[in-house]
Amino acid sequence: MIALLLCLTCQLDTMEVKYANHLEILRSMPEQADIVVREWIASGRSILPYLIRSFVDPGTEMFVKEKIALAFGGIGDKSALTYLYSALPGASSQLKANAARAIGEMPDPTSFDYLLPLLKDPNDAVRGDAISALGRLGDLRATTYLVEALKDSVFMNRGRAIIAFGDLRAVDMLPYLTVYRLDPLPQVRMALAAALGKYRDPAALPVLELMITDDDPIVRREVYSALSLTPGEQGITRFRSVLSDPDPQVRDAGVAALANYPPEICMPILFEFLSDGNPAVRSSAQAMFESRRPAASAGFEYILTQTSYPLDMKYWALRALVQNYGSNTAVDRLMQIFPNKFQGRLTKIVDGQYEIGMERDDLYLALGKPNRTRSNGTTEEWDYDYLGLIFRFQDGILTETEGL
């Protein structure tokens, strides 16, 4: 018991010393403030009593309180809200802004009335953080105040008000927000796209569809991100148009947005990105494939079952499936997907082998894309240079092979 008490005392002493060192760094090297705040947030609730003690101390510098407010938000313990509320009267503009941001990160109904005065603050940043926090509270009473915030003289705050409506998911406000797709500032149009993504509602699709043709690539990037968050087949169909967007950075953002889709949706689109004309987009697509492949077997299996998907996509999916499962398990899985195919034939396909009597599509799945093809009526020939062979098909069935 004594040893336990000594250990706890040592830990407290260590935290006390650590916190004192943090304060010294803040005061002597304010440019390191962001690092200190991250350290506090990483420490979690264990650092909270020390932060509160400094925050309520009248002798603590305003700069330090400003940083503590940010840490309160990052830690996310609502017990800090009371101290944030109490600090608002007479606080610096930066402390008000940071407090509003922290309040937004700890949504609580009691915060509503404390944020309202900040919406009228003469400081642009204070108003902006209060607008954002109001949306995060999820209180539909905020709608009236956010409509007023849409008239803010600062375009960034107007954008924040639009995004706040997205946080509220107030579907009845969608017609009101639609007009901002024609705003002359791309930043405001970007905010609209981001807000529509937050709705995650098919009701936002008509506006997003119109915004796909926005002149500014930075707006289209946000539009495709929003589409990837919108449920339903129609949203997926609209998202696929990113494949033909003329700007490679937009297409690259489309690759990143695929992370929002399940494998059976992500993988067919990702396959097309792998042959994009831009090297950076192809590189991003390959990285996305490598990161998602181990958990994407359902997507590869889905591709193999789709009669409308091209053979080169199916070959790619099959090879990825074999990489995930290994040959034996892959054959077992394929037996469940294609119960009408003989196990021996499926084994040859998985192992990259061929035999007379094989169907043309099965040979493709086994060997991949041929180097050249020729056809004459019901007869077809495929050349595989790496095998040095010509494969001849009659009515889609392999009938003979010949050396090149």
Tokens coding 278: 């831009």
Is 30:63 a contact under the CB 8 Å cutoff?
yes
Locus of tokens 């062979």: 389
Q: pLDDT per position in the chain (404 positions), as tens?
A: 434 333 433 444 588 888 988 999 998 999 999 999 999 999 999 999 999 999 999 999 999 999 999 999 999 999 999 999 999 998 999 999 999 999 999 999 999 999 999 999 999 999 999 999 999 999 999 999 999 999 999 999 999 999 999 999 988 889 889 999 999 999 999 999 999 999 999 999 999 999 999 999 999 999 999 999 998 899 999 999 999 999 999 999 999 999 999 999 999 999 999 999 999 999 999 999 999 999 999 999 999 999 999 999 999 999 999 999 999 999 999 999 888 888 888 999 999 999 999 999 999 999 999 999 999 888 999 999 999 999 999 999 999 999 97
pTM for the whole structure: 0.84
Is 97:126 a contact under the CB 8 Å cutoff?
yes
What letter does residue 359 receive in the DSSP assignment?
Answer: B
Within 10 A of 178 (CB to CB), how many other CB atoms are there? Answer: 16
d(CA 70, CA 55) in angstroms, rounded, equals 12
Give Cα separations from 72 to 48, 64, 90, 306, 374 (angstroms): 8, 12, 19, 51, 70
Query: Cα–Cα–Cα angle for 255, 259, 262, nearest 5°?
Result: 120
- Which amino acid does the sequence have at 92? S
For domain 1-168, say whether CATH 1.25.10.10 is its number. yes
Residues in the chain: 404
Give the SS3 label for residue 392. strand
Domain edges within the chain: 1-168
